[in-house]
Structure 1
Amino acid sequence: MLTIGIHVSYSQEIIQIDSLSLKNKKEKDFTEQDTIHLTINDTIKNDSIKKPKKNLLEGIVKRKAKDYEKLDQKKKQLTLYNEAELYYTDIELTSGIIVLDYEKNEVYAGRLKDSLGNYIQYPVFKQGSNVIEPDSIRFNFKTKKALVWNSRTKQGELNIKAEVSKRENDSVYFLKNARITTSKNIDDPEYYFLVRKVKFVPKKKVVAGLTNMVIADVPTPIGLPFAYFPMTEESTSGFIIPTPGQSNRQGYFLQNGGYYFALSDYYDLAVLGDYFTNGSYGLRAESSYAKRYKFNGRVNLRYENNIQGERGFPNYIKSKQYNFQWTHSQDPKAAANSRFSASVNLGSSQYFRQSVNLVNVGSSINNNMSSSISYQKTFPTEPQVNFSLSATHNQNTNTEQINMTLPTLQASVSRIFPFAPKDGIKKGIIKNINLQYNLRGENRINTTDSLFFKPEMFRDAKTGFQHSIPISTNFKVFKFFSVSASANYNEVWTLNTVKKYFSTIENEVVTEDQKEFDAFRTYNFSAGIGTTIYGTFEFGEDKKIQAIRHVMRPNISYSYTPSFEQYYDTYAIDATGNTMQEYTRFENSIFGSPGNNYAQNLGFSLSNTFEAKVTDKESKTDEPKKVMLLNNLNFSTSYNLAADSLALSPIRMSGGTQLFKQKMNVNFAATLDPYAIDNAGRRIDVFNIDNGGSLLRMTSANMTINYSFSSTDFSKNNKGKNEQTALNGGRTDDLFGTSTDLSDNRQSLFNKDDDENNLENNNEWYHTKLPWDFRFAYSVTYNNSNRQNEISSQSLMGSGNIELAPRWKVGFSSGYDFKQKGVTFTQLRFERDLESWRMSFNWVPFGPNNYWGFFIGISSSVLSDIKWEKRSLPDRVFR
């Protein structure tokens, strides 16, 4: 009984649980073994390993509401009303009303109605990076499943709105009656794809069933039995659909088709091609690369094999053209003391003029291509040493002449002040004495298109080195005069010299190229003194023009250049040997040749600036404002003290100013010669005034005017618009037309910034003000070097754009050549921005680049293949 008593006192429940089994046993039948067995088993089962009860919620619930929070312990519900917010684990939910059932692990969110009966405070459900904006939502925290009504979500460039959405888990959604569009207005899009059933995997894909296109709420017959939309945020490889068309000379074609390779996160590759039914074809490879805080660049390689006519007929012409472009820019943070950059544009001189794939109209008008690749290194020593290695290329597309340097080596040592203390002010003629050392080496090549990268191109290369040590100092005299003096030592090493002699066998002067090392040394000295003079003309503070300020900077210089006759030889010009001609063996040196003319030049220069102080009516403090009248007005000439005739050089005059709130740039220049000329047009040692003429004879003059203004009296910024033209050395504005990239017509013909600024205007028509911009450039050149008294060139070019209504734009670019009496390049542009669509018409009505093109399509790159375009290609004349 003692054992049983202890058992009962420790666990009364055990007896109750096992009471049914104990009723059939008598008390005497209990043994000690039975009692111990029951006690141990029951105690372990009910007391020792009893599991704790699981919490209803897995995390802390943070909530907020504007009106009230209601907690119903009986229903296990928490209600948040008006501007409700709920944060639980990785879920963020905002809505008008939120009901949290923490027993079922479910949450419901819905809208509210305002006093007018309109729905407000739509739910916004965010989990991780996925955001859904439905009318209402029901979500289970435990199963992670959800039902969503009229959900709105954005994945990349696609906006998706579904009537009913079912969320299976974090990665799979099923949608019913969904609208897929790239329009920003997801509730009333201008177009959408209506999909009955959709399987949606965020950031990966959208797999749709029966799909058809709806434009302006009107169903179209455009449809597919199923559709697949890639949703990955990473670049993916894929085919690029070509554009069909017809050319007058080359037949039907497929252009800009190919394949895009998403090679990595740092670089990609697009391979495109064109094919014409007459056998012409083109190939292009385009690649972009970038690494954050390191570098970025782009590479384009183009090749075209163009054919006109039929083989065997006289009009059969075959032309092969190529072009290579490479731009590379290094981030300043990548390296503190070194920098690598590249800007390359080389190839056939006639590529942009004969290419049937019109990349850019302005490139075909420009007659120059240039390239530069350079590496710069700075050694932070004392003194500092700078080193650079570069390769340059310059190509005239008219003459097809090519000048290259492969490579150019430059090194320099920073200025050294040998007589100045390391700390303190450098004052005086001695302390300001400084010197440098500069080294330049070049391997220069002059060739043509036909010999480009052939052995003949390198055979005539010229190589040389130039060493220069400039020494200079400066100091003040009489307090107001600045004096500078300098001397320069120059030494040239060359591997290209010449030898001239009269050959009795060939009976002519023979020039032999010598491939051997040789050198010459030259030096010169110069000094100058100058000052600054200020003058102010006061008119009174009550006048509109209160004062005019005139600043003059006169300068007198002297230079001494000795004659280096030791580097000159003579040769006979005929068989008699009586007549000798002087020459220098260094005349083919790339760094020039030593002079044999002794000269002492006394130079004069005067620069002027004019400013006005005018009354500012817009100023609230009655402070006058400064207006620049002339930015500069410069005069310069020189007199050779050692010359026996024609000692006075022509006077060079130049100037420039900005007018109309600095909107108009005016630049002018003229050359005035004091000497007369003979009947053959040669200068003679007689002053022009003594020959019956004026004091000075104007031999040449030029003037350029550039004016840009707009409806807001502020010019548009078109920077970056004509990147292709800029790479070819042309203008970046639209005076020579805008870009016409046939491989991607989704790009706007106008400034993209204008579209972003006018998004707020919706689609209403303007009432009184139409945004517009206009610019023109005028250039005239006068020539009278030989009494011809003619205008050698004169042209006027203009371009303008006007916005008839928000998203409706028209523009033009044209000009007139007064010398040739003809209209210059003309382009007409029209564009309609349909928000998520774009429609454009581009027309070049006449000339060798006559062209027209019409395009309408979706602006988004995701659906860029949904388009319709029609165009005519320029009728190129190959050679």
Structure 2
Amino acid sequence: MTIFAKKLSVHLTDQKTDHNFTKIVFKPLQTNLFNIVLLSFFLSLGCNQLYSQDISKKRNAIPSKKQAETTVAANANLNQTKLDLKKETDTVKKIDSIKPKKAFLDGKVKYKADKYAKIDQKKKLITLYDKAELYYQDVELTAGIIVMDYEKNEVYAGRIKDSTGKYTQYPHFKQGTNEVEPDSIRFNFKSKKALIWNSRSEQGEFRIKAAITKKENDSVYFLKGARFTTSTNIEKPEYYFQTSKVKFIPGKKVITGLTNLVIADVPTPLALPFAYFPLSKETNISGIILPSYNDSNTRGFSLQNGGYYFALSDNYDLTFLGDYYTNGSYGLRFESSYAKRYAYRGNINFRYENLITSERGYPDYAKQKIYNIQWSHSRDSKASPNSSFSASVNLGSSKYFQQSINQANIGSNLNNTLSSSVSYSKTFNSVPQVRMSLSATHSQNTQTQVINMTLPTLQLSVDRIYPFVGKDGVKKGFFKNINLQYNLNGRNSYTTTDTLFFKPEMFKDAQIGMQHSIPLSTNFKLFKYFSASTSVNYEEVWYAKTISRKYDTDLSEVVDKTVNGFDAYRTYSFSSSLGTTIYGTFNFGKDKKIQSIRHVMRPSVSYSYTPSFEKYYDTYASDATGTITKQYTRFEGGIYGSPGLSNSNIVGFDLSNTFEAKVRDRDSTKVEPKKVMLLNNLNVSTSYNLNADGVNSLALAPFRVSGGTQLFQNKMNVNFATTLDPYAINNSGTRINTFNINNGGSLFRMTSANMTLNYSISSREKDKKDKNTQGERNGGREDDLFGKNTVVNNSSKSQFDGSEDEGTDKISKFFKSKLPWDMTFAYSLTYGNTNREKEITGNSIMISANADLTPKWKMGVSTGYDFVQNGVTYTQLRFERDLLSWRMDFNWTPFGTNANWGFFIGIKSGVLSDIKWDKRSTTY
């Protein structure tokens, strides 16, 4: 048998990639030629059944071997090359105990490079150079140079130097969702392990750079000489955390050894023996909220706003916060937000504080408990078109916002009223349609501490019924427009104080009543240009208790006794009105700047009549003799009032006016004139009592004049009102039945007047502000005339809106740029002359301004002046500095009962929001 040794070598490294050559060379063993011939003859005769391999007995010609195929496809420009490596196959089917060798790679490799792509079949290497790209399995790799060993299933990628000797084309390694940008990388496709030099990666808000990174698998990395930061500039961050050892689990956590905070490349003494940073793509993660340190002259040292955040689900969460002072004071807060798409959303806050001032035994020692509950809920109309539920609750201790140790909310502090409303309504699609609503309301005066509450209020109404409308459904004319309704209003009302709120005493004086009304009305045209309406209203009121009044001889005074039991009274009334609209235009010529003025008047006259209901009145003796008697009704003090004793026969007058001008536009290219509103409204109203008679009867009511307009391109709102009394007053200040002009005075006596101006200007369009602020929920203003809310250990909302780009370009153009600013101005003037005092009872101005001193500095001020009290009103100064990854602000109220200051500096990122310093003074 002749034995041959076969050697296959493929030489491609010296050839162009668009030409393939394969050289096959057979080299025989070095033996004697005679011996070879002899041995061949001998084997042919005597060993016909001896073969080097077992084959089938079938005598078929054995086809020649085909060369194993290696396909390399490349285009002429070297922009795309694909390699398909297949394992060698033999056309001869063998039954062999030796298993075939496994393929080198488990999938297709796609790659390309700008300069060259070399394939070394001998060393099993693919070398890509200049803008190299390689795609294999779930790995995407770009770099200056890439070398792939497809026998070891390893790839190496690195940077290259450009013509100036500078390193460029750093590797970019992406596997799944993890991305790394190192100086160089070595990766094994089988074990998934990698060795990375000077890696740069992003995980959530973190940017991480490490000298050496070892990738154990897809979920564990070990870093050496690492630093991590939230700065956008990973190469030159303004701050970073330096650590020697890090265990990094992408998307989950970072665990470090000794960690040191470095600011501006200067190590600080702030260090931790170890650190743990959670990483997650989830927006809601439960975790500890670190408290802030503070101190107070009256309560000692404190830890404030420490607690825990519970991410209960995607639809709701819970935050628990607490404060503790060394003198025993403490505070607790529960805050929860919830939402369900296309259904509802809301939030609920509960605050409780146990305040101790000074120490027991000192004269200024005091102890009190205050609380506040806020709940806001709204329902999406798409959830249920026929029903709705909403809540806006703000109740608690009247002095909470004045005395809270946790926040200085000036807008809430200056507000005198807390109010709440919870309501549910439903529409029944019957014929006629029925609407029903249940609500609970609350109103609380923080000065008098009086609380008025309804729990609940029931309202029911039946849609209008037109009994005389024909089959065509046309409602035209007096008769066909006749309609009637039914309205029901039931109320359970309480009046109490702060100290008795929800105590048994509160429910003793509850007032329960129900009001039924059936209005019958119609409207029609009269003489073509007049609109007329008339209505008759029937009303019935039910009460659960009434009063009985008599003179008590033992107490020597008149006393009222509560009579429990059902009672009712019934009344009716009549009213009608007649009105029209009059248009008037004054033309001045098209060549004039003001071409015309349009005046629209809407005069109306109304009449109402309510008879006397004496049958519901009784008499009582007002003295011990019983000779002096007075009338009263047992329904006095009811929540729906009481029936009238005297009939009412009143004619009312009302005139509303609007003035609009056509002004020639400054833009000469425009043909049409511009419309300008001169007066949005100018209203005059009064009434006359036809039944008034006698010396002391004042038939004519005072005239009420009110109006408003907008100036300076609708940026200034002007509103004014005044009351003009036609009657004179005597020396004691009582109105008498003598016209003021007949008493030596003017036609009308101005008894009161007020005017308000509101003006807002800005260098740019201001975004809509958050209308769910604490101050506005308490009924305050949405602007910052009363300053911004300050909460301890809460950086609040930054004045920077995030549109400020980081970098030096904006700084270098500072003196050429237009710095944004805005200003809000409010002025109020009140005049009083009820008793000829002729004095200004209120005269104050308030200003709030915000401006960018530099692209990274913002300043704001809120202040004002009271010209009656001759003093400066509430004043607040605000400064804020954008420190790129950090933020600093300072708020200062220099004087007044709410004088305080606050300083904050901390990292912007929510992940590291606990790294801060927040110092707030308590209200003096």
TM-score, normalised to structure 1's length?
0.88
Greater shift in the superposed pair: 79-88 or 485-494: 79-88
C-alpha change, 1:512 and 1:160, in structure 2 (3 Å) is same
Q: Which moved more, 1:155-164 or 1:346-355?
A: 155-164
1:169 is matched with 217
Distance, in Å, in 1 between the alignment partners of 2:204 and 2:408 is 29
Aligned residues of 2:290 and 2:307 also touching (Cα < 8 A): yes
TM-superposed CA distance for 1:500, in Å, is: 1.0
- Matched residues in 2 for 1:295 and 1:62: separation? 51
Identify the match of residue 501 of structure 1 among 530, 537, 550.
550
Deviations 1:208-238 (A, max 9, x none): 2232222122232322333221113444444
Q: How does 1:431-450 map to 2 (within 5 A)?
A: 431-450=480-499
User: How far, CA to CA, are the matches of 1:91 and 1:451 in structure 2?
Assistant: 71
Q: 1:81 to 1:503 in 2, by over 3 A?
A: same
**Alignment-derived partner of residue 662 in structure 1:** 714
Native 8 Å contact 1:763 1:806 kept in 2: no
Taking a change above 3 Å as real, the CA distance of residues 432 and 46 of structure 1, as seen in their structure-2 partners, is farther
Give the SS at the match of 2:469. coil
Q: Structure 1 residues 45 and 60 mapped into 2: Cα distance closer, same or farther (>3 Å)?
A: closer
Among 360, 364, 369, which residue is 1:320 paired with?
Answer: 369
Determine the C-alpha separation between the residues in 1 that align with 2:531 and 2:661.
27
- Residues 622, 253 of structure 1: CA spacing in aligned structure 2 closer, same or farther, 3 A cutoff? same
CA distance in 1, matches of 2:684, 2:843: 25
- Letter of the aligned partner of 2:469 in structure 1? A
Is 1:420 matched with 2:472? no
2:507 is paired with a residue whose SS is helix
The answer as to whether partners of 1:718 and 1:733 remain within 8 angstroms in 2 is no
Q: 3-state DSSP class of the match of 1:184?
A: coil
CA offset at residue 696 of structure 1?
1.2
CA displacement 1:813-872 (0-9 Å, x = unmatched): 111222222221111111111121111111111122111121211122221222223332
Q: State the match for 1:601 in structure 2.
A: 650
Q: Which of 418, 424, 437 is the matching residue for 1:369?
A: 418
Structure 1 residue aligned with 2:679? 630
Structure with more contact order per residue of length (Cα contacts < 8 Å, sep ≥ 6) = 1
**Would the aligned equivalents of 1:493 and 1:519 in 2 still touch at CA under 8 Å?**
yes
Partner of 1:720: 770
Alignment of 1:763-842 (within 5 A): 765-767=814-816, 769-842=818-891
Q: Structure 1, residues 544-582: CA drift from partner, whole Å, max 9, x if none? A: 222222222121222222222222222121123232211
Pairing partner for 1:132 from 176, 180, 204: 180
Alignment length, in residue pairs?
Answer: 843
In structure 1, the residue matched to 2:699 is 647
Paired AA for residue 730 in structure 1: G
Partner of 2:77: none
The Cα of 1:338 is off from its aligned counterpart by 2.3
1:515 aligns with 2:567: no
Quick one: distance in 2 between partners of 1:6 and 1:158?
66
User: What are the equivalent positions in structure 2 for 1:181-196 lying under 5 Å apart?
Assistant: 181-196=229-244
Q: CA-to-partner distance for each residue in 1:497-542, whole Å, 9 max, x for gaps? A: 1111122333321211122111112222222222222222223333
For residues 2-37 of structure 1, the C-alpha deviation after alignment (integer angstroms, 9 at most, x for no partner) is: xxx9964449999xxxxxxxxxxxxxxxxxxxxxxx
> What percentage of residue pairs aligned between the two structures are identical?
65
1:657-806 aligned within 5 A: 657-712=709-764, 716-717=766-767, 719-720=769-770, 723-745=773-795, 747-748=796-797, 750=799, 752=801, 761=810, 765-767=814-816, 769-806=818-855
Q: In structure 1, what is the equivalent of residue 254 of structure 2?
A: 206
Aligned match for 2:380, one of 331, 346, 355: 331
**Could you tell me which amino acid in structure 2 is paired with residue 319 of structure 1?**
Q
1:476 equivalenced with 2:519 (yes/no): no
Counterparts of 2:135 and 2:577 in 1: how far apart (Å)? 78
Query: Aligned partners of 1:64 and 1:417: how far apart in 2?
Result: 82
Structure 2 gaps, min length 5: 1-48, 63-91
Root-mean-square deviation over aligned CA pairs = 3.4
Note if contact 2:460-2:487 (Cα within 8 Å) is conserved in structure 1.
Answer: yes
Larger Rg: 2
Question: How many Å separate the matches in 1 of 2:216 and 2:54?
Answer: 56
Q: 1:247 to 1:100 in 2, by over 3 A?
A: same
The one-letter amino acid of 1:217's match is D
Shift of 1:76: 7.1
Structure 2 CA distance for partners of 1:101 and 1:685, relative to 1, 3 Å = farther
5 Å-filtered alignment, 1:100-499, equals 105=153, 124-135=172-183, 137-234=185-282, 235-420=284-469, 424-499=473-548
**Are the equivalent residues in 1 in contact too, given 2:823–2:848 (CA < 8 A)?**
yes
Shift of the 146–855 alpha-carbon distance from structure 1 to 2, 3 Å rule, reads same
Residues 668-711 of structure 1 deviation map (CA, whole Å, 9 limit, x = unaligned): 00111111122222222221111111111111111111111123
- Partners of 1:322 and 1:465 lie apart in 2 by 34
Question: Helix, strand or coil: the match of 1:249?
Answer: coil
**Kindly tell me: are residues 465 and 722 of structure 1, through their superposed partners in 2, closer, same or farther at Cα, counting changes over 3 Å?**
closer
CA distance in 2, matches of 1:641, 1:105: 106
Shift of 1:615: 2.6
Q: 1:672 to 1:7 in 2, by over 3 A?
A: closer
Aligned position for 2:576: 527
CA displacement, residues 68-95 of structure 1 (integer Å, 9 cap, x when unaligned): 9888888877788887776655455566
Flag structure 1 segments of 5+ consecutive residues without an equivalent.
Answer: 15-43
Task: Give the Cα separation in 2 of the matches to 1:647 and 1:127.
Answer: 90
Letter in 2 for 1:211: T
Are the equivalent residues in 2 in contact too, given 1:763–1:805 (CA < 8 A)? Answer: no
Task: Name the amino acid aligned to 2:225.
Answer: N
Alignment of 1:548-559 (within 5 A): 548-559=597-608
2:806·2:884 contact (CA, 8 Å) conserved in 1?
no
106-115 or 810-819, which deviates more: 106-115
Change (3 A) 1:758 1:501: farther
SS class of match (2:710):
strand
1:28-84 Cα offsets, whole Å, 9 max, x none, are: xxxxxxxxxxxxxxxx99559999986666556677889998888888777888877
Q: Could you say if the C-alpha distance between residues 804 and 477 of structure 1 is closer, same or farther in structure 2, counting changes exceeding 3 Å? A: same
* Other structure's SS at 2:624 match: coil
**Secondary structure, aligned partner of 2:790:** coil
- How far apart are the structure 1 equivalents of 2:165 and 2:521? 85
C-alpha spacing 1:180/1:534, structure 2 compared with 1 (3 Å): same
Structure 1 residue 763: Cα displacement: 7.5
2:875 aligned partner, one-letter code: T
Secondary structure, aligned partner of 2:512 = strand
Alpha-carbon distance in 2 for matches of 1:66, 1:383: 80
Contact 1:673–1:697 under 8 Å retained in 2: yes
- Counterpart secondary structure, 1:517: strand
Paired with 2:920 and 2:800, the residues of 1 have a C-alpha distance of: 22
| Counterpart contact for 2:547–2:636, Cα < 8 Å | yes
CA offset digits 1:692-731 (Å, max 9, x no partner): 111111111111111111233xx63462277111111111
Which residue in 1 is equivalent to 2:71? none
Deviates more, 1:336-345 or 1:95-104: 95-104
Give the secondary structure class of the aligned counterpart of 2:499.
helix
Alpha-carbon separation, structure 1, partners of 2:107 and 2:501: 73
With over 3 angstroms needed to count, the CA separation of the structure-2 counterparts of 1:85 and 1:328, relative to structure 1, is farther
The alignment partner of 2:411 has SS state of helix
**In 2 relative to 1, CA 565–209 (structure 1 residues): closer, same or farther, beyond 3 Å?**
same
Matches within 5 A, 1:28-47: 46=94
